[in-house]
Amino acid sequence: MESQAAAHLGVLDGDMVTYLIKEIPPGRDLFTREGMQLEAYCSAVGKMLLAHLPDSALDSYFSGGPLVPLTPRTMTDEARLREHLASVRGNGHAIDDQEIAEDLVCVAVPVRSAGGAVIAAISCSMTTPGFQLDRTVDLLREAGTMIEARL
């Protein structure tokens, strides 16, 4: 893996993100595992998937209860998160900036079906020192294009 980061492919499963695939370079460790579920509102994969939900489905998601902060940086204000999701749709990538775990940054891009619908997202997760957003987004977009071509 060129980025030396943990990579995940995840889908929205109800209100949670389920990680279907995890790849991690030798010598690295991360608390995630295949089959694990995380809150969508504070993960990069989840934000990417939420950003592409129809408005009615997003309204239903937010009606499910309070958003609990996992770290001091977790976005829990619905209005702020909705604004953030709109920017995710616009720029084509989502970021979890230490929202699930302190000192962990994740960035995700969509994986689209042949019809253009966002059906999954892929992400890279790494510790904050050395994180390079632009390079990571470029690598993820390349990987996303390869996955889409195989679908």
The full set of domain ranges for the chain reads 6-150
| Mean pLDDT of successive 10-residue stretches along the chain, which has 151 residues | 72 92 73 81 96 95 92 95 96 93 90 93 81 80 86 77
State how far the Cα of 49 lies from the Cα of 55, in Å rounded to an integer.
Answer: 13
> CB within 8 A of 62, min separation 6: which ones?
78, 82
Check: CATH 3.30.450.40 for 6-150? yes
pLDDT of residue 57: 95
State how far the Cα of 147 lies from the Cα of 30, in Å rounded to an integer.
Answer: 23
The amino acid occupying position 105 is V
Q: Give me the half-sphere count of Cα atoms (radius 13 Å) on the Cβ side of residue 19.
A: 23
Length of the chain in residues, anyone? 151
The DSSP 8-state label assigned to residue 69 in this structure reads P
What does pTM read for this prediction?
A: 0.88
The separation between the first and the last C-alpha atoms of the chain, rounded to the nearest angstrom, is 21
pLDDT of residue 148: 84
Q: Which two tokens stand for residue 138?
A: 């470029």
Radius of gyration of the chain, Cα coordinates, nearest whole angstrom: 14
pLDDT of residue 27: 65
Q: Which two tokens stand for residue 62?
A: 């937010």
Residue 147, number of CB atoms within 10 A of its CB = 15
